[in-house]
Amino acid sequence: MTLFSRRAFVFVSSHFGSELGPVERGFIAIMAELVSLGASVHYIASPDSPGIEAARAVGATVAPYLLTRANVVRSVSRLRKYLRRIDPVVVHAAGHEASVLLRLASRPLSAAVVDTILSREWPPKGRNRATSRARRSMDRRTGPQSDFVIADSEDLRRAMVDAGYDASCVMAEPLVTAAFVPRGDDAAGGDSVGALIRHHLAVYERLMARWEGPSKAKGPKRRMTIRRVRRDVRRAVRQDR
């Protein structure tokens, strides 16, 4: 029996493409480790995502949802229903659409919300000035719903803090991308992936420790407790770093 045994974790990605990106590769490695530790792991991604089969191969339960901004209300509703049924302790998103939709869907829930954000994707950009403004506005509005943000560089971490993100809950983790850059050294690559997994599990563990109380509360008391714990989580993570 481990700390992660019989706990549910949900990973959500809105990245598209014919090949797994570095964040998705990291997700697969982390999911495999969580499954080996006895956790219930779920992966939500586009039906044509290459991550679907990879996640299934490591023992994760797969939910092929098309996460789109075209119908935000429907996407948020589907996500919220899924999360309520699974009752996860941590939900982790990658990709702008996934992050925004997950933040909105998790509002009434007691799961800790984690985002992974890449330098090339932030600040969010659209096809033109209007869509770029809309994306950035949505990011500002929903950003406070995240309990922890993992940035792929120190420069990005500083930029997000300057933009208003709470410095206590933004961590720079270059291994998000660096762990999967071919270097011709399998041993070094394996060490990097192992370190990436350990760093993520440490974040989950700290967040889980602060979220035990809210999961047992109900109604208005639960909502008040969740707001208080979100504040305490940020303080505790700052002290732990």
Q: Give dist(CA 56, CA 11) in Å, integer.
A: 13
pLDDT of residue 22: 85
Residues in the chain: 241
Phi, psi of 64 (to 5 degrees): -80, 90
- The two three-digit tokens of residue 192, written as one number: 């990097």
pLDDT of residue 7: 92
pLDDT of residue 6: 86
**Single pTM value for the model:** 0.80
pLDDT profile of the chain (241 residues), mean per 10? 86 82 90 95 89 93 77 80 91 86 80 88 69 68 79 90 84 81 52 89 88 50 46 47 47
pLDDT of residue 187: 45
Domains and CATH numbers, the chain: 8-240 (3.40.50.2000)
pLDDT of residue 106: 81
